[in-house]
Structure 1
Amino acid sequence: MLYESCRQQEYADIAAGRLGAAPHEDAAQRAESLARIKRSGDHFTEHFTEIPLLVFVFAVDDHGGANIYPAIWSSLLAARAEGVGGVLTTVLRYEAGAVCDLLGVPTADGWRQIAMLAFGYPLGRWGVAANRRPVHEVSSRNRWRASFGARVPEPLWPPGTEGARIEFDPPAS
């Protein structure tokens, strides 16, 4: 299967250190994260032919997805609002030519594959993603590594709440 072949190529890149390294993670944390991602991805790959809806995203001259990613994000949010799960994957980039050939994409006209979205009804836990670092730890404002200006100590909408709790830093004098 084409998707499985692409996934094997991606994991070869990860194993070789060409992909997936986050400078803030220690080796044990990275190994745990990759194992969790791999389990999820293995399930996705094993059940690929059962996915109810696949949306292949193509664009012409899109400068890194600036025009198409807002539409992708809106699609994922709209699906979630209806109780449908969605995931974006770019793993088919390893065989983009074969995907374009298979789908009859006019690449001579400048069309290129950006991503694939998979939609379906979620199994298991469905909620706020776990093990995420707070936004103020991974964001800066105005300058690299400058204070974000706000602390978000918990998810913006924890289960069972209606609003967000954000602690703003006082303005610099």
Structure 2
Amino acid sequence: MNIHEALYTTRMMRRLRPDPIPLESQARILDAAVRAPNGGNTQRWHFVAVDDPALIRKFAQLFRKARDVEYHKFANGSGPMAAPAPGADPAAHADTMRRMKVSGDYLADHFEELPLLIFVFAIDDLGGANIYPAIWSLLLAAHAEGVGGVMTMVLRNVEDRVDELLGVPVAQGWKMSAMLALGYPRGTWGVAANRRPVQEVSSRNSWDGPFGVDVPQPLWPPQREAIPALSAAG
């Protein structure tokens, strides 16, 4: 798999098989994650891998409870992504949220079957500047191993209980950034088709300045007919 294939086809996978992930694969996935760039190479991160079925069952109960909290906030219009982004189509946003909830329902209903959870912790992370590159590297490396996954922050609604179950030394400043559910996907990899094109979400030299190039379709995989279509705009 070349880098463009990895970048274009890695996506969040919530429908995962229960097959265990070999320790060798887990090691390669996390070894790639810790190579990610981070401020001053201070490596202020910690990853907790959970594959104990009894512990996963406890997190399943917590996940469903935390998800109820999240969707209660969403229903009240106070949750993240409750409103569409400025300029986005409200109907398309509502459809995206509906599809995300359906796949999230599957994850919640089958949480006990997950073979591997990875909890990601950081300290003094400046809004995620150090940890999110590592998380993305982790997901890319997982894809290279044939493993899918999804990043979720839902359990931050009950993070005190998460800290307790994992024995996190919170007094030192460690805070959960996210949880990753990993497993071999039931679905297939593919280029995300529901993205607004580059020229609609990018500008040049000022907020309202035209980007200058139209990208009418994904530029990977390369298609001969796509080259003439990539033209100067404006």
Q: TM-score, normalised by structure 1?
A: 0.86
Residue 162 of structure 1: how far off its partner (Å): 7.4
Distance 1:65 1:87, change over 3 A: same
Q: Deviation string for 1:42-85 (max 9, x for gaps)?
A: 00111111111111000110111111111111010111122211
> What amino acid maps onto 1:106 in structure 2?
P
> What is residue 17 of structure 1 aligned with on the other side?
77
> What is residue 117 of structure 1 aligned with on the other side?
180
> What amino acid maps onto 1:2 in structure 2?
L
Q: Deviation string for 1:92-115 (max 9, x for gaps)?
A: 111111111111000000000000
Q: Map of 1:72-151 to 2, 5 A cutoff?
A: 72-151=135-214
Residue 168 of structure 1: how far off its partner (Å): 5.8
Q: Which of the numbers 53, 67, 82 marks the counterpart of 2:130?
A: 67
Are 1:47 and 2:146 matched, yes or no? no
The whole-number CA distance in structure 2 between the counterparts of 1:39 and 1:78 is: 26
> What amino acid maps onto 1:144 in structure 2?
W
Distance 1:81 1:115, change over 3 A: same
Residue 141 of structure 1: how far off its partner (Å): 3.3
Residue 125 of structure 1: how far off its partner (Å): 3.5
Tell me whether 127-136 or 87-96 shows the greater mean CA deviation: 127-136
Q: SS in structure 2 opposite 1:118?
A: strand
Q: TM-score, normalised by structure 2?
A: 0.65
Structure 2 gap ranges (5+): 1-60
> What amino acid maps onto 2:191 in structure 1?
V
Distance 1:83 1:150, change over 3 A: farther
> What amino acid maps onto 1:8 in structure 2?
D
Distance 1:139 1:111, change over 3 A: same
Distance 1:168 1:93, change over 3 A: farther
How many residue pairs get aligned? The number is 169
The whole-number CA distance in structure 1 between the counterparts of 2:130 and 2:140 is: 17
Tell me whether 9-18 or 37-46 shows the greater mean CA deviation: 9-18
Q: SS in structure 1 opposite 2:72?
A: helix
Distance 1:27 1:99, change over 3 A: same
> What is residue 8 of structure 1 aligned with on the other side?
68
The whole-number CA distance in structure 2 between the counterparts of 1:123 and 1:68 is: 28
The whole-number CA distance in structure 1 between the counterparts of 2:171 and 2:131 is: 20
Identity %: 58
> What is residue 101 of structure 2 aligned with on the other side?
38
